[in-house]
Structure 1
Amino acid sequence: MASEGHDAGGSAPGPPKLQFVPFASALDAGFWHQLTQKKLNEYRLDESAKPIQGHYYNGDPPGLPSRLTLEFSAFDTKAHIPARSCPALGSLYNTNTLDSFKKFDKKALLEQAANEIWEAIESGAALDNPVLLNRFLLLTFADLKKYHFYYWFCFPALCLPEGIELVKPPVSIGEKFSKTQVLEFQRSFDAFCQAAGSAPQPYFLIRSSGDSFSMSPLCKFPEIVTDEDKVSLGVYDPSTLAQYPGWPLRNLLVLVALHWGSRVSSLEVVCLRDRTLQGDRDIKHSLSFEIKLPHVAPGQGCPKAVGWEKNQKGGMGPRMVNLSECMDPKRLAESSVDLNLKLMRWRLVPTLDLEKVISTKCLLLGAGTLGCNVARTLMGWGVRNITFVDNAKISYSNPVRQPLYEFEDCLGGGKSKALAAAEKLQRIFPGVTADGCNMSIPMPGHPVNFSEETMNQAAKEVEKLEALIAQHDVVFLLMDTRESRWLPTVIAASQKKLVINAALGFDTFVVMRHGLKKGRPEEAGDPAANVPGSSDLLGSSLFSNIPGYKLGCYFCNDVVAPGDSTRDRTLDQQCTVSRPGLSMIAGALAVELMVSVLQHPEGGYAVASSSDDRMNEPPTSLGLVPHQIRGFLSRFDNVLPVSLAFDKCTACSVKVIDQYEKDGFQFLAKVFNSSHSFLEDLTGLTLLHQETQAAEIWDMSDDEVI
């Protein structure tokens, strides 16, 4: 037998010495999964000791090791202990690197734990709370990239210098006691546990007289040792070997030797083993033996301690468990995807609200170059719910610029972009919920009044788009044409949804958030609050202190209504011809803008940051929350302009939103089928043009007079 487990001088001449069976650690997969979550979300870089709880069972059949078990509930020291088990209190030391794990001062750690046990023994605290004798240590390193867990378990045991001399060797109580005595012993122990709260008691005193037994807590020893009845020491024993008690007895004997060694020269010990065989309870295999009790003088200092567990090869060293092979690959991928995000919080952004980002449902209108890049960046941020809307098919020019498609997707006329993009996201990461909707978006300047069938189809598409926007939290406008962005802008403004817009030129781009102009509680009593106009321009800076509800949308800088921009286009005008890296830059910035908005306590109502704010204290842990980002790749430069909402905007002005909410599709059909003049007349742009023209004529007349 191993020297540390049975170290009481078994090879030395003289009387036989008592030997002990050491604990074998049993750490189940649930413990490691829980440690993973604790490391990522709570411990982070903290290597200080953490309280944990294990338990040991005394009903295993012969041949099994004495197990100290740690389950997923080990991190809750108040968790319920399984039936017929005793608790053990421990300290977890989780290191940040494998090198730290290897270099950890294990000798000092053991000595510290031994001193704590000795102090509990010497002060008498362990007499009142014997669980203090069952301390353990667990040193770990969690490699969360590979899901390899390195660990070294220690159950500190104090060693008496001369060991424990056996007076009578171990025998089963079935041999020593009569059947009546065995049943009475069992009944008495159950009554003792019931009085103590039903849980098995790790240590107890046994007073016997004839066939009767009674059990008492350790602290009662001074009261009962003077009785004429025989007093024995009981231990709830996890060992399954016929001749050797388990490890928990070691520290108990040190306590007894210190406190009672001067009064008792020899002591009977009963190691209770409570098995269930074929449905019947059996304690007859419990051990009984008698020891010569040494005397330990107070004040002599803490005895030497042992307890580090040997590895699978029988040497002094740690163990390693590889959970990557037994984990569900999808769960493994999900944990790994979130790892980078959680690492960001450890040192860089401790206030980052990841749950707010991950739970955001994103609707991507457009599954082309911008849509593909936005989707990949959203997945990098852990977003789990993404829906694509597009009516195009994948062409041969797409895969090199649009990273969700491959050459095979172009064959046979090409797959639907929206459906193929959703399918590819789920192949990249099965944990994402990705959907594709193959539909076109009705647009101003693209009439739908040719037939009743065309009108019905347009109405269904509008209804579907309204439902999709309602089901999502953030809407990304990533389409090829300006007019295709009009309808979702109107619907999202009406539903008070955050809109992130991205558009490309050849070497320029704009990324912006639309203002949330409605629904702010403190503005409800101010009818002018949602209608910024010339008074706002006079009272506010264009570059700072503009709240989100006063920010403009993509169409607010226009003085004409959107129309058919695809008519009479040459080949280079029909395609979005951009520098290849531009869409990746703009797509990434669109997602980063969304995340920054989500991290701001005001969300979409956040005051817009401008270029002037770059040297100021940022409003969120991630930095600025701009209204617009306009990039110039030829100069490798970005600016952060801020613009107010235009009260005559053809998409988000109060007149347009009110008309849409009042008349629904009837209003939209007029917009689709009419020329520019309908929206311009509605919003007042026509009158504005007339006034401008009149002013120009008047100025020219003055010149002529002069």
Structure 2
Amino acid sequence: MMHWYLTWLTSLNVAYATLDTPEKRAAFLVVPMREEVQIQPLEELPTLVADCRPFYLAFSDPSTSPIHPGWPLRNLLALVVHHYSLSRCSVLCYRRQARHGHVDSSHSLILDVQLCASVIAEGVNSPVYVGWERNAAGKLGPRSVDLSASFDPARLMENALELNLQLMRWRLAPTLDLEAVASAKCLLLGAGTLGCSVARCLISWGVRYITFVDNGVVSYSNPARQSLYTARDCWDGGRPKCDAAAEALSAVSPAVHARGENLRVPMAGHSVPAHAEEHVQADVQRLEALVAEHDAVFLLLDTREARWLPTVVAATQRKIVINAALGFDTFLVMRHGIAGDNGEKLGCYFCSDVVGPADSTRDRTLDQQCTVTRPGVGAMAGALAAELLVGLLQSPLKGRCPTSDDAEASGENPLGLVPHQIRGFLARHVYMMPTYAAFPMCTACSQPVLDEYAHRGWEFVLQVLNDAAYLERLTGLSRLHEETDVDQVWALSDSEESASSGS
């Protein structure tokens, strides 16, 4: 037994690095030359023996013992004796390690081995197994260890994110329910500025299931403000936003199950031609199915009327709804109410209006149809929308969680108050948190609307799409408008009489 010649180590290391498969690296022949070595496959062994050329039978040795070779040598020697009938050979136990960026094989061994074919033949059947233990079934066999959690980069990243969230619970909020957040399935209607911001915040909280719904494509103006897109997504006419957003989100966090749905949400007041009714009906049915599959729905669409149908569907299915809307330097983030056991319910996005949704893009120029907002407003609203959902999930009542300004009541939630609305005014850096109850004449969540939708389904939706004023007649808003007009006439008449009598 002796150490490998140090003058040939560099040549051997370089030659070994050229072997491109594990099979070639497992066992090979080393042929020494004058100042270098050559590596040849085992098939060349008969030729080397016939030519009486010196060679070393080499193998990748996993052993760390300074004097003993590893177990693979047993099989290699048996192979050589059986096929080539050698009686003596020199063996190189090649041990290669990388240390501080340098390859070191100086601890490799050279063995001079005398082979006996009769001993090898007698030992074929005895022992059957060497070095194996009995497994759980009581049979001799190899043991395996799953190290994927320690070496898989995706698993390592997932564990790092979980550790960051666990630190919040361990050190600051012991009652924080991270499992409720991770298991929540979120449906994001809109994959624009708000959709991208909400999605990034949700995965930071550990949300695993996110679905994007959008029918637009990535345009050249999007990547600067919409954080899930790059310039490449704009090329060749633009990729579908829903697919590009889902793919980007999975690239950011491989543990996230993100998918895209290329779907146009039917809008109240946007009439449907007869030839398109079947297609629009399929869109409505798909939207209903998506809402049913998820726990929370985010309304992040561009127009007011686009939020009407998702609001009705989610209210019927009693889903959590988070709504976010942007102005130039203002934003609104709110949650829709779900009726509690006492029948009380917070208002929805449409409860503060006394008019029904209509086509807001009609008779508007292109620049008037575009949303113009300060760049930071979208990120602020998106972050607050995600935080509002997480706060709701910490309450045992979830979507029926009441609002309260009472500090003692807010102490029950590890994340503090869960407001109904957050209205921000960036020009003055003022933030308000108003609360209002559901409006009995609301065009989206009032009982007449929900009953009509439950009873007539698609026929009701189609009627609203073609005639948004029908909602005002159904809820009684039309009658309210008429009564208001009459009151104004009487008030004006009284003021005229007073003025004439005083002259």
Q: Distance in 1 between matches of 2:445 and 2:267?
A: 15
Q: What is the SS of the residue equivalent to 2:235?
A: helix
Matches within 5 A, 1:164-183: none
Q: What is the SS of the residue equivalent to 1:569?
A: coil
- Other-structure match for 1:683: 475
Q: Distance in 2 between matches of 1:341 and 1:637?
A: 30
Post-superposition shift, 1:280? Answer: 10
Matched, 1:671 2:494: no
Q: Distance in 1 between matches of 2:255 and 2:493?
A: 70
Paired residues of 1:324 and 1:332 also in contact (CA < 8 A) = no
Q: Distance in 2 between matches of 1:509 and 1:478?
A: 12
Paired residues of 1:619 and 1:625 also in contact (CA < 8 A) = no
Paired residues of 2:395 and 2:413 also in contact (CA < 8 A) = yes
Gaps of 5+ in 1: 1-62, 65-275, 282-322, 524-528, 530-548
Paired residues of 2:148 and 2:155 also in contact (CA < 8 A) = no
- Other-structure match for 2:441: 648
Q: What is the SS of the residue equivalent to 1:576?
A: coil
Alignment RMSD (CA, Å): 2.1
Matched, 1:639 2:436: no
Paired residues of 2:448 and 2:475 also in contact (CA < 8 A) = yes
Q: What is the SS of the residue equivalent to 1:413?
A: coil
Provide Cα deviations, 1:294-329, integer angstroms capped at 9, x if missing partner: xxxxxxxxxxxxxxxxxxxxxxxxxxxxx8995111
Q: What is the SS of the residue equivalent to 1:476?
A: strand
Matches within 5 A, 1:244-283: 278=128
Matches within 5 A, 1:424-435: 424-435=248-259
Provide Cα deviations, 1:633-665, integer angstroms capped at 9, x if missing partner: 112221110011100000000000000000000
Correspondent of 2:168 among 344, 348, 362:
344
- Other-structure match for 2:484: 692
Matched, 1:495 2:320: no
Q: 1:277 to 1:646 in 2, by over 3 A?
A: same
Q: 1:408 to 1:699 in 2, by over 3 A?
A: same
- Other-structure match for 2:202: 378
The structure with more strand, counted as a fraction of residues: 1
Paired residues of 1:627 and 1:642 also in contact (CA < 8 A) = yes
Q: 1:329 to 1:556 in 2, by over 3 A?
A: same
Matched, 1:513 2:305: no
Q: Distance in 1 between matches of 2:130 and 2:213?
A: 66
Q: Distance in 2 between matches of 1:661 and 1:325?
A: 48
Matched, 1:485 2:307: yes
- Other-structure match for 1:594: 389
Q: 1:617 to 1:670 in 2, by over 3 A?
A: closer
Q: What is the SS of the residue equivalent to 1:630?
A: strand
- Other-structure match for 1:134: none
Post-superposition shift, 1:572? Answer: 3.4
- Other-structure match for 1:546: none
Matched, 1:401 2:225: yes
Percent same amino acid at aligned positions? Answer: 57
Q: What is the SS of the residue equivalent to 2:151?
A: coil
Provide Cα deviations, 1:171-193, integer angstroms capped at 9, x if missing partner: xxxxxxxxxxxxxxxxxxxxxxx
Paired residues of 1:516 and 1:604 also in contact (CA < 8 A) = yes
Gaps of 5+ in 2: 1-64, 67-125, 132-146, 499-503
Q: What is the SS of the residue equivalent to 1:594?
A: helix
Q: 1:653 to 1:411 in 2, by over 3 A?
A: same
Matching residue's letter, 1:481? T
Q: 1:380 to 1:700 in 2, by over 3 A?
A: same
Matched, 1:420 2:235: no
Q: 1:702 to 1:280 in 2, by over 3 A?
A: closer
Q: What is the SS of the residue equivalent to 1:412?
A: coil
Provide Cα deviations, 1:53-85, integer angstroms capped at 9, x if missing partner: xxxxxxxxxx99xxxxxxxxxxxxxxxxxxxxx
Q: 1:404 to 1:617 in 2, by over 3 A?
A: closer
Q: Distance in 2 between matches of 1:279 and 1:615?
A: 69
- Other-structure match for 2:75: none
- Other-structure match for 1:579: 374
Further displaced range: 489-498 or 627-636 = 627-636
Correspondent of 1:456 among 262, 269, 278:
278
Matches within 5 A, 1:604-615: 604-609=399-404, 612-613=405-406
Post-superposition shift, 1:338? Answer: 1.1
Q: What is the SS of the residue equivalent to 1:339?
A: helix
Which structure has the larger Rg?
1
- Other-structure match for 1:552: 347
- Figure out how many residues of one structure are paired with residues of the other and give that number: 360
Matching residue's letter, 1:677? A
